[in-house]
Amino acid sequence: MRTGVLEPGDFSPAARERLEALGPVSLYEGGPLERFLSELDILFVRLRRRIDDALLASAPRLRYLVSPTTGHTHLDLTALHARGVRLVSLAGETDFLEGIRATPEHTLGLIIALLRRYRLAFLHEGNADWDRDRRRGDEIAGTAIGLIGFGRVGRILARYLCAMDAQVHWHDPRVEETETAGRRHPSLASLIEASRVVVLCASYKPGSPPILGRAEIEALAGRYLVNTARGELVDEPALLDAVEAGRLAGVAVDVIADEQGEPALARWLAATRRHEVIVTPHVAGATRRSMRLTEEFVTDKLLALLTLERCS
């Protein structure tokens, strides 16, 4: 079987070695993509490209798509199913993911960056006055922080925040009371009202309406918002309207609704002219350790699936 790695930068050497046990492994380094895809049985992807039916049409032999991600918004699941391509990903791998901390750590960092006004606090040419008073920020200790979604990322983040003496609130209609520190809210409106910082930690199901619509975004006036989950969880035009009008205390996003779309990105980049706006390009999970571990895990998951299929 021939495997192709679509985004091979810093790809795990251990994962590559295990894949080579199946047959040749090709790394895409540019050139005609159709030629690269045409002979593949297995395709390993990350997040840079949208895997849609047009791309899959160039890979007629493809049997397995491997994505070391929990979310699938970069994948056309209908097209994969129609073409009989099996998806191997991190979805549902809760025990393994408990040890993957990159996303909650980045989320914590964005919360601190907003509260401490790092965009303004970091000196550089054009922002070089030695004046701490106009850069005065807030601290996590004593701050009410509300988490929307209380799955893996939300629970880990809650532990971090509680250790820093934040007042942790959370809302997740799928989760009952737990022993984890923090106050559960029965409604999203109650959570927003109680919080100074609101953090999106929820999962996204394609086709679902935004959790934060225009009314909820209006309720966020004077508060901070952090989103490291999925851009589709927010009514993005409404959020950008609020950001551009200066109605929120600050916003930090690691995800946007259309990450391959230039117009959406251009509007976000324009918004970063405001020092209370932070945009990172979906890097929350992109640490060397986490990417290495997840690539090796989904490789082992693929090998186990192939072994099971050969034995059945």
Residue 279 is predicted with a pLDDT of: 97
Instruction: Read off the pLDDT of residues 186-245 as tens digits, 9 standing for 90 and up.
Output: 999 999 999 999 999 999 988 899 999 999 999 999 999 999 999 999 999 999 999 999
> Token digits for 235?
């009514």
Cβ neighbour number for residue 288 with a 10 Å cutoff: 10
Do 38 and 141 fall into the same domain?
Answer: no
Do 77 and 221 fall into the same domain?
Answer: no
8 A C-beta contact, residue 220 and residue 248: yes
Whether residue 156 has pLDDT greater than 90:
yes
8 A C-beta contact, residue 62 and residue 3: no
Residue 226 is predicted with a pLDDT of: 99
Do 106 and 230 fall into the same domain?
Answer: yes
In three-state secondary structure terms, 145 is: strand
Whether residue 114 has pLDDT greater than 80:
yes
Do 295 and 166 fall into the same domain?
Answer: no
Q: What pTM was computed for the model?
A: 0.91
> Token digits for 217?
């975004």
Measured CA to CA, the distance from residue 178 to residue 173 in angstroms comes to 13
Count of the separate structural domains present in the chain = 2
Structural domain harbouring 296: 3-93+287-311
Whether residue 179 has pLDDT greater than 90:
no
Q: What is the DSSP string of 155-223?
A: HHHHHHHHHTT-EEEEE-TT----SSSSEE-SSHHHHHHH-SEEEE-----TTPPPSB-HHHHHHTTTS
8 A C-beta contact, residue 180 and residue 194: no
Q: With pLDDT > 90 as the criterion, what percentage of the chain qualifies?
A: 88
Do 113 and 255 fall into the same domain?
Answer: yes
Do 193 and 65 fall into the same domain?
Answer: no
Do 146 and 242 fall into the same domain?
Answer: yes
Instruction: Read off the pLDDT of residues 254-295 as tens digits, 9 standing for 90 and up.
Output: 999 988 877 889 999 999 999 999 999 999 999 999 999 999
Do 89 and 105 fall into the same domain?
Answer: no
Do 63 and 119 fall into the same domain?
Answer: no
Measured CA to CA, the distance from residue 255 to residue 236 in angstroms comes to 11
CATH number of the domain within which 128 lies: 3.40.50.720
Do 148 and 273 fall into the same domain?
Answer: yes
In three-state secondary structure terms, 8 is: coil
8 A C-beta contact, residue 297 and residue 93: yes
Instruction: Read off the pLDDT of residues 63-102 as tens digits, 9 standing for 90 and up.
Output: 999 999 998 989 999 999 999 999 999 999 999 999 999 9
Residue 263 is predicted with a pLDDT of: 80
Do 109 and 89 fall into the same domain?
Answer: no
